[in-house]
């Protein structure tokens, strides 16, 4: 039981692929005989994969149009200001 | 009509576009914007989870980048640079929300990340083979967003930057103004909390509670909320 708790700190390192470290080797060894830890590691890994794999909500067309409209306006204002600063 | 988003730019193209943009060529600036606007939207959306706020964050981010174009030295790529601005804007939105709700984000972020014990996994049940089977993509997105919303801003920001955006621990630490050790601790807390939330959704009905959790500690999410 204490093994499981002690090894929690190695979870992130393991998920980040630093599997060569001594702590990860201990975790891997422990997982071979501990279903619960194996389950936590696997579901944590799948959690990250799900977030990486799913497309974020589409960039909405209306937001995109407003963004570009506002950038064009700001750019034009900037140009006028730059012009007025010329000697 | 706005043009379609182009393919990612390489550094040489990017430098040439920056040079043209500095010489007042708007189409060059627009191409730079389009090369990373989707990514900026993704960061903003995942951090603030509200369309209006995310729109303001992205817009302010690009406007600030426009204003600072002449001082941008190009040490990092354009998108990384704008990403920093957008992340800071999003964090400011979260701070304002916390102040409005009477909770200080700064107080939360200066807490002792490393000193507090990590809440232990509680829900121990395997997921179905492929969680995305049998539910619509929109529903899956909704589940993932809703789990993310349950994290404190400090945990959410670390998870989004490290695990979704793929920034290094050092980059994340510098962006959030916290120590790299705290990034590691927060990332572990965030991953465990999200795993717990998603296990509730994908783990079927017969939840097995962990032998790891001391009796009477309460839910993992509650424990994380109190420290994260």
Instruction: For residue B117, give the CATH number of its domain.
Output: 1.10.10.10
Q: Is the pLDDT of residue B142 over 60?
A: yes
CA–CA separation, B66 vs B83, rounded Å? 13
Q: Which domain holds residue A30?
A: 2-85
Question: What is the reported pLDDT for B103?
Answer: 59
CA distances from A33 to A26, B129, B155, B211, B213 (A): 12, 22, 31, 15, 19
The interface pTM score, or ipTM, of the predicted complex is 0.78
Q: Beta-carbon neighbour count of residue B9 at 10 Å? A: 19
Question: Which CATH number fits the domain that encloses residue B64?
Answer: 1.10.1740.10
Q: Is the pLDDT of residue B62 over 60?
A: yes
Q: Are A12 and A47 in contact (CB under 8 A)?
A: no
C-alpha dihedral sign at B94, B99, B100, B102? positive
Residue B63 located in a structural domain: yes
Instruction: Find the residue in B nearest to A56 (Cα).
Output: B42
Residues in chain A within 8 Å Cβ distance of B163: 48, 51-52
Q: Are residues B164 and B118 in the same domain?
A: yes
Number of domains in chain B: 2
Residues 69-98 of B with CB under 8 A from A: none
pLDDT digits (tens, 9 = 90+) for B193-214: 999 999 888 876 554 554 444 3
Nearest to A43 among B59, B118, B199 (CB): B199
Distance of CA A19 to the CA centre of its chain: 19
Q: Which domain holds residue B182?
A: 112-227
Token pair belonging to A19? 């599997």
Q: Do B163 and A48 touch (CB under 8 A)?
A: yes
Q: Are B16 and B49 in contact (CB under 8 A)?
A: no
As a whole number of angstroms, the longest Cα–Cα distance in chain B is 66
Q: Are residues B186 and B155 in the same domain?
A: yes
β-sheet bridge partners, residue B209? B123
Q: Do B38 and A72 touch (CB under 8 A)?
A: no
Q: Is the pLDDT of residue A57 over 70?
A: no
pLDDT digits (tens, 9 = 90+) for B121-136: 777 777 766 666 667 7
Token pair belonging to B208? 């097995």
CA–CA separation, B228 vs B221, rounded Å? 10
């Amino acid at each position: 039981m204490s093994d499981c708790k002690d090894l929690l700190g190695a979870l992130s390192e393991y998920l980040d692929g630093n599997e060569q470290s001594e702590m990860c080797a201990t975790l891997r060894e422990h997982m071979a005989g501990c279903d619960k830890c194996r389950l936590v590691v696997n579901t944590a890994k799948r959690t990250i994969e799900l977030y990486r794999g799913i497309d974020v909500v589409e960039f909405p067309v209306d937001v995109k149009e407003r963004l570009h409209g506002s950038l064009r306006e700001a750019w034009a204002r900037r140009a006028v200001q730059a012009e007025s600063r010329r000697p | 009509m706005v043009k379609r988003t182009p393919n990612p730019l390489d550094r040489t193209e990017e430098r040439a576009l920056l040079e043209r943009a500095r010489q007042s060529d708007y189409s060059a600036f627009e191409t730079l914007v389009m090369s990373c606007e989707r990514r900026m939207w993704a960061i903003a959306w995942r951090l603030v989870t509200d369309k209006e706020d995310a729109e303001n964050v992205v817009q302010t981010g690009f406007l600030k980048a426009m204003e600072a174009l002449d001082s941008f030295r190009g040490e990092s790529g354009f998108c990384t640079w704008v990403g920093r601005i957008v992340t800071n804007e999003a964090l400011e939105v979260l701070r304002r929300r916390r102040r409005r709700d009477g909770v200080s984000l700064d107080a939360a972020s200066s807490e002792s990340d490393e000193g507090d014990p990590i809440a232990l996994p509680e829900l121990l049940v395997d997921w179905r083979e492929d969680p995305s089977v049998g539910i619509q993509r929109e529903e899956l997105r909704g589940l993932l967003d809703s789990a993310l919303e349950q994290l404190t801003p400090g945990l959410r920001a670390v998870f989004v930057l490290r695990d979704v955006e793929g920034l290094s621990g050092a980059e994340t630490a510098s962006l959030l103004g916290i120590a790299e050790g705290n990034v590691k601790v927060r990332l572990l807390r965030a991953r465990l909390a999200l795993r717990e939330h998603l296990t509730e959704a994908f783990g079927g009905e017969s939840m097995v509670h962990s032998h790891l959790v001391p009796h009477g500690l309460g839910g993992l999410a509650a424990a994380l909320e109190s420290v994260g």
